[in-house]
Amino acid sequence: NTLAVYGAGQSAGDVPQNCDGSHWVCEHRRTAVANMVAFRSATNGEAVTNWWDNGGNQIAFGRGAKGYVAINYTGSNLTATFTTSMAAGTYCDVTKGELNAFGTGCTGPTITVNGSGEIVGQMVAAMDAFAIHVNAKVAACTATTPTANFHITLTPASPQLTLGWTDFGGPYQVRVSTSNPYFVPASGTLLASPTGNSYVHPTALGTAGTHHFYVVQANNCAGAADSARIGAFSFGLVPGQ
C-alpha cells in the first residue's frame, strides 16, 4: 500500500501535503527524477549519438548536441573520457542539482565539456549516473559586486518621482516606507523589481504631507547590498498660516 499524496481537504493540483518533511517523499520530487524530465524536454527529437558501453552495465550516450548521459549500473566506479556533441562549457549534473537563480552556478556538481566535445577523466560512482543538457549550462557572471550603501538620486516631476542608481547588474528591489526613515528593508512595501537602474514612482508627490523613504536592494550573481536610505517630502501650504 502507498500513502495518498494529498491530505484531507486537498484537491488535485494542490501542493501535496504528504509529500514533504517527515511524510512519504513523492518520487517525482527527487532531484534526479524531476530534472530528467527536463532533460527529456531539452533533448526531445534528437537522435542517439556517441554511444559507448563496456559490454556490460556501463553505458553512455548523447542526444544530438542537446544532452549527454552516463550510467554505471555496477558495483565499481567508472572513470572514462566521454565523447559528446555538446558545446564546450560547464554544465550542471542534473541528476544531483540545478542552476541557481542567476544561471551562473549549480546546486550540485558540474561537468565540463572541452573544446573537442570531450568530458575528460570523468568518474561515475558505482550505481550512479550523470546527465547534462543545453538548458543546464552554467553562464558567466557579468554583474558587478554591489557597493554597500550605494547612492540613489531622486528626480521630481510632480506627482511622480524617478529614482536612479549605479547599475551593478540586476535584478533590484525598490522598497518604501511612509513612516520610518530608518526602516528595515524587509518591513518596507515592495514597489517594484526592476532589472535596470531606475524606477518611476508615479504617485510619490501626489499627496501633501505624505513622505516617502526609499531603499534599493541589489541582489545579483556577484553579491548583494542595500542602498543608502533617501527621502522625498511632499508639503502643502495652509491658507492664513
- According to the model, what pLDDT value does residue 10 have? 78
Using a pLDDT cut of 70, give the percent of the chain over it.
Answer: 89
Q: Which CATH architecture has domain 27-136?
A: Sandwich (2.60)
- According to the model, what pLDDT value does residue 214 have? 97
- According to the model, what pLDDT value does residue 24 have? 52
Would the pLDDT of 25 be above 70? no
Task: Return the SS3 of 24.
Answer: coil
Would the pLDDT of 211 be above 70? yes
- According to the model, what pLDDT value does residue 1 have? 40
Amino acid at 33: V
Task: Return the SS3 of 68.
Answer: strand
pLDDT (tens digit per residue) in 53-104:
999 999 999 999 999 999 999 999 999 999 999 999 999 999 999 999 999 9
Q: Specify the pTM.
A: 0.75
Average pLDDT for 34-51: 96
Helix %, strand %, coil % for the chain, to 5? Answer: 10, 40, 55
Using a pLDDT cut of 90, give the percent of the chain over it.
Answer: 78
Query: What span, in angstroms and rounded, lies between the C-alpha atoms of 156 and 151?
Result: 16
Same CATH topology for 27-136 and 152-232: the answer is yes
> Domain spans of the chain?
27-136, 152-232
Give the fold, CATH level 3, of 152-232: Immunoglobulin-like (2.60.40)
Average pLDDT for 19-48: 81
Contact yes or no for 126/116 (Cβ under 8 A): no
Would the pLDDT of 4 be above 70? no
Chain-wide mean pLDDT for the chain?
91
Task: Return the SS3 of 220.
Answer: strand
Would the pLDDT of 18 be above 80? no
User: What residues contact 141, with CB distance under 8 A and at least 6 apart?
Assistant: 102, 104, 220, 221, 222
Q: Which of 34, 16, 35 is nearest to 24 (CA)?
A: 16
Would the pLDDT of 240 be above 60? no
| DSSP characters over 172-183 | EEEEEESS-TT-
